[in-house]
Chains A and B, each alone.
Chain A
């Protein structure tokens, strides 16, 4: 009797309580308390997140959550960003759209990452969801401006259209004109990935003019500098703005027009774009610099002195993306000017050059780590590193949550001692107790993995390349990293033993990627046989793995947990190992 009373809140009360719980992790936890909470929770979950589109089927999701309004799906593994996943591997969104079109006419938001999106999918979205509001496509491909035209024409309540980092077939810039003249609800538009030599400027200007709630506008490179003033003039309320190409003949009238219009943008907090930037036009943005919290200069090919001047004007910067033209000297200025800096990404201007073209070394990273107390996320490309520097960085910045270091030449040793960088990265994981994401580079032995397995207890994602000596390395990571969700490895001497010994661990992770390693076909078959809730995919463009001896290493291996079983949309170069231990082709 007492037990029953304790759980006898009416459903509506519990639902109301649950409505304050937004994060998926918390919602998942809530749903595991008891059967009735599971039931109530599933009916009122409005946002669904599927980290791997093949971990579950659309029908399963729809069956469990009958009334969601927003879905986020992720497709290809992260290494697809660097062309390691062959074209045609998978990640098609169409089956999801098709299932949802029937079940959910009231779907409002779709967010996709690394998925293949066809025009057909976009047309189906446009047709099926009358109250569709948000479309965010991140690193997706497979569609053209025709699909965008369908979205523009039909989605009367569209608020957000964000195509960040997508590969779009640019057939015509006129898709923008498909937004009806009566359409005014746009709040966020990111078309920075589009090519098109001839953008439809007048349609763009008209769109911006009538959408008075527009807060985010990221233009593409094709929009010339002299058009920006006209666009900004009609959108002084913008909070985030991305320019197009930032070069033009130096003309005082164009300059003052631009500077004037930037001055009138009192809400601007984030700037990006700056393709082909010339120093003469940079000061035009000085009026907004003091309010900027985010600055993306990763396409800006200007040199250190100009970058230093710019950065010195931005004391409130929290996020900076920049090319290595900034050099150590620029990073030192950054460290002294921008005390609120939380995230820094430094990209290489000449990644394939054999010799360094700029004076950017480990010193820049040390300076920023010492000088910026709130720094927690770093992506840094450089050409040399030392254990000493890494230890200094770790000690001074224990609050790192994301640390991604890319020393451009694989297996580069500590330049001072010629030793491996095990101790340096070991310090990072030891001092940065909240580290969630780590990317390694440089010369590394099994030692570094021992450190990682011992200390990196909160680590969720690890990226490894050209590192380690033996299976022991992999074993340390799989057996020690309790929070590990994603592990991606390339060109390491890790083979069967560690993988098979830690098979159970793989079910607690989202996925494991291994390419150019030493895992044999036999081990893959065994794993597939013994672990029915793992999809073990062998990706090999050389031909069927059984045409080679069993102990031959497979080219690429992608293992992920799934309750949907093997997928049926695999291309000819992907094989799933399953219970029959035979090969299953799609």
Chain B
């Protein structure tokens, strides 16, 4: 049963025009109030262009993709719990092909932090002295502070350090020379 045939829709058709006005085809051109519904053959190509130049994080469309809130929340909870209850910072080491993330809150002080880094990246920190920096080691732990400056780890009291540290980088000893201490 096709409605068009049975109901003689033309006669009963609801239209916005006055009765007796000429019949309009159902296909109408793009007179829409919506900006993105452009009908052109270049859609696929345009789409590809968009994808290539699109920024990595896009604004989220409401309700898309169609996932229930409780699912979204359950996936997020893991992330959020991790990020709000701890002080996670990224740790990288020159020459190592991987990044790690550690929670600074977990450590009570520098010795524990260094032990953890040594285990993680299989290196030795060496002895620290205020004047000479780290001695006896090829690698030196540095951190980026809130001002964007790179500092030697161990300069400042522990509490100050974990609040200021944004990320850690274990650099080759040769590059660490010249890193200033906090004034």
Contact = CB atoms under 8 A, between A and B. Distances in A.
Given A301-B78, A412-B47, A516-B34, A526 B65 contact: no
A501 B9 contact: yes
Contact of B44 (A165, A301, A420): A420
Given A354-B54, A479-B4, A497 B67 contact: no
Contacts of B174: none
B85 interface: no
A495 B24 CA distance: 14
Interface string A510-538: 00000011100011001100100000000
B68 A479 contact: no
A351 B58 CA distance: 12
Interface string A65-86: 0000000000000010111100
A20 B58 CA distance: 56
B26 interface: yes
B122 interface: no
Nearest to A469: B39
A410 B61 contact: yes
A501 B32 contact: no
A475 B26 CA distance: 8
B47 A81 contact: no
A465 B13 CA distance: 27
A174 interface: no
Contacts of A348: 65, 67
B44 A82 contact: no
A82 B27 contact: no
A296 to B, nearest CB: 12
A552 B33 contact: yes
A478 to B, nearest CB: 8
Contact of B32 (A381, A445, A493, A500): A493
Contacts, number: 140
B126 to A, nearest CB: 34
Interface in B78-129: 78
Contacts of A523: 16
B12 to A, nearest CB: 8
A114 to B, nearest CB: 12
Interface in B34-53: 34, 37, 39, 43-45, 47-48, 51
Most buried by B among A79, A518, A522: A518
Contacts of B34: 491, 493, 516-518, 553
A83 B14 contact: no
A472 B26 contact: yes
Nearest to B9: A501
Contacts of A354: 54-58
A413 B47 contact: yes
B44 A351 contact: no
A349 B64 contact: no
Given A470-B39, A504-B7, A275 B33 contact: no
B69 to A, nearest CB: 7
A128 to B, nearest CB: 30
B1 to A, nearest CB: 6
B22 to A, nearest CB: 14
Contact of A84 (B4, B62, B72): B62
B70 A493 contact: no
A381 B65 CA distance: 9
Most buried by B among A406, A480, A501: A501
Most buried by A among B43, B57, B60, B65: B65
B183 to A, nearest CB: 41
A472 B27 contact: yes
A273 to B, nearest CB: 11
B47 A406 contact: no
A82 B71 contact: no
Given A411-B47, A500-B15, A82 B66 contact: yes
A540 interface: no
A546 interface: no
Contacts of A299: 71, 74
Interface size range on A against B = 35 or more
A469 B43 CA distance: 11
Given A347-B71, A354-B56, A381-B65, A471 B26 contact: yes
A246 B104 CA distance: 26
Given A493-B34, A501-B14, A504-B3, A443 B43 contact: yes
A111 interface: no
Contacts of B14: 500-501, 503, 526-527, 530
A408 interface: yes
Interface string A454-498: 000000000101000111100100111010000000111101111
Contacts of B54: 354
B63 interface: yes
B65 A501 contact: no
Contacts of A526: 14, 16
Contacts of B30: 470, 493
B28 A471 contact: yes
B104 to A, nearest CB: 22
Contacts of A495: 28, 32
Contact of B16 (A445, A463, A480, A496): A496
B2 A349 contact: no
A221 B70 CA distance: 12
B26 A81 contact: no
A443 B37 CA distance: 12
Contact of A418 (B28, B48, B57): B48
B74 A408 contact: no
A562 to B, nearest CB: 19
B75 interface: yes
Contacts of A411: 43, 47
Given A193-B70, A276-B78, A553-B33, A83 B47 contact: no
Given A354-B57, A518-B33, A81 B66 contact: yes
Contacts of B15: 500
B44 A413 contact: yes
A553 B37 CA distance: 14
Interface of B: 1-4, 7, 9, 12-16, 24, 26-30, 32-34, 37, 39, 43-45, 47-48, 51, 54-58, 60-72, 74-75, 78
Across the A-B interface, the 9 shortest Cβ-Cβ residue pairs: A82-B63, A493-B37, A500-B14, A469-B39, A418-B44, A413-B44, A518-B32, A84-B63, A82-B66
Given A354-B54, A505-B3, A517-B34, 14 more contacts: A82-B64, A167-B70, A350-B75, A354-B58, A408-B65, A413-B47, A418-B47, A443-B47, A470-B30, A471-B26, A490-B63, A493-B37, A502-B3, A518-B34
